[in-house]
Structure 1
């Protein structure tokens, strides 16, 4: 499985290729799926570009995406969209159009309550476990662990030379991850080393403009689809033992 994360917390200043409107997200998702992505993760945005969990914004985003793709579509529920856990929970309860899954960052306040509500609503939960936080410890002790859709192991170390070690440390912290599938990905300079590691370990992974604006050769990425194309090639090479960094 290769997920595409269309926009993350990027802004218009990061380039015109970052999709911010529902229409732009839908077009970018369609191209990425055509390139081989099998799942979509998106940050719904207000017209002014702010991350939002508003029922109206989430519905418009999901409807636009589902008009163009048939693969599962998920949204982020990070505290940056709404810092108050109680308000975040109220917004979720008012969603009229439901995503297939939603990420919940386990180190954030109110994570367990948020995850429990999503599960009760029939929405799959991606347990976001960030390196450098106590998310892994909280998750391994959580009674909700066996009920999540998968673990989204997020390596926040941006160092191209250190991200792989950070990824291995995070995987070790997760242990058996309650038996749930693990999707491993990195960010910025660590995005491609961690993706290669995911290929070598046979784990699901993700790529997209949310994680990196650059291709493996350092050139600027023109689209999410281009990142998916390059990511799949790199992932398959690593999985087949063609990754020179593993020799």
Structure 2
């Protein structure tokens, strides 16, 4: 494996506009295989329904999980619980309550309404929590909530399009968490071209990183990636170079 010592997750799809974004269970599994072969240790996926829409419905979620597990045995699978998929808090809780095949992990964005109840539900069903911190406000809410005791890791995910802004916000989020004495593993990523700068900063500070078509569709030089494996190879090279230095 190309990565040395630091965690590397791939986010395979989400609402990415990349033409080769995987959406069916078979497509997601194939991309997972390629990404794991390139160095990813965990895969984060968004299942899609028959109409091609992201969904939290139990049946397509189970189909996607089973397909990836069969193709990549032993590789931890993370699902989204985002309110961008289902905005209604009660409906979102109901859909996730009905899951019949549990992922290993979920990302749980800490700025969402009802996040404490959702985290407790999933922990009680044996699912690890990746606490998503998209802003300084999310980080502050996470610190005061006491939910860190339930979580596996912290995901530092600044939304800024400009690299300098994304790096600044990643630093602010990180500082809020660490100054509160929360010692959970941190995994950092950004969106678009800024993802690479956030990744490089994180690796230099000893944190894990995430890449993949959900987060970024272009390589560091700006040309379009052919798929998730391209992005993972580049992210793994950042980790390898940092270790060599």
- TM-score under structure 1 length normalisation: 0.92
Q: Residues 13 and 22 of structure 2 are in contact (CA less than 8 Å); yes or no, is this contact kept in structure 1?
A: yes
In the alignment, the residues of structure 1 paired with residue 12 and residue 181 of structure 2 have an alpha-carbon distance, to the nearest angstrom, of 26
- In structure 2, the residue matched to 1:153 is 156
State the shift of 1:177 in Å: 6.0
Equivalent runs, 1:1-247 vs 2, <5 Å: 1-10=7-16, 14-70=17-73, 71-131=75-135, 134-175=137-178, 176=180, 178-241=182-245
Equivalent-residue separation in structure 2 for 1:160 and 1:152 (angstroms)? 18
Query: Deviations 1:46-97 (Å, cap 9, x if unpaired)?
Result: 1222111101011011011111112100100100111111111111221110
Q: How many angstroms apart in 2 are the aligned matches of 1:236 and 1:202?
A: 12
- Structure 2 gaps of 5+ residues are 1-6
Shift of 1:117: 0.6
Deviations 1:84-142 (A, max 9, x none): 1111111122111000001111101111111111111110011111125x211111012
Alpha-carbon separation, structure 2, partners of 1:35 and 1:24: 17
Deviation for aligned residue 1:239: 4.2
Distance 2:80 2:181 in 1: 20
User: Alpha-carbon deviation of 1:44?
Assistant: 0.9
C-alpha distance in 1 between matches for 2:18 and 2:147: 39
Gaps of 5+ in 1: 242-247
CA distance in 1: counterparts of 2:115 and 2:189, whole angstroms: 21
Instruction: Say which structure, 1 or 2, has more relative contact order (CA 8 Å, 6+ apart).
Output: 2
> What's the secondary structure of 2:193's corresponding residue?
helix
Deviations 1:168-194 (A, max 9, x none): 111112225632111111111210000
Q: CA RMSD in A?
A: 1.3
CA–CA distance in structure 2, aligned partners of residues 193 and 239 of structure 1: 17
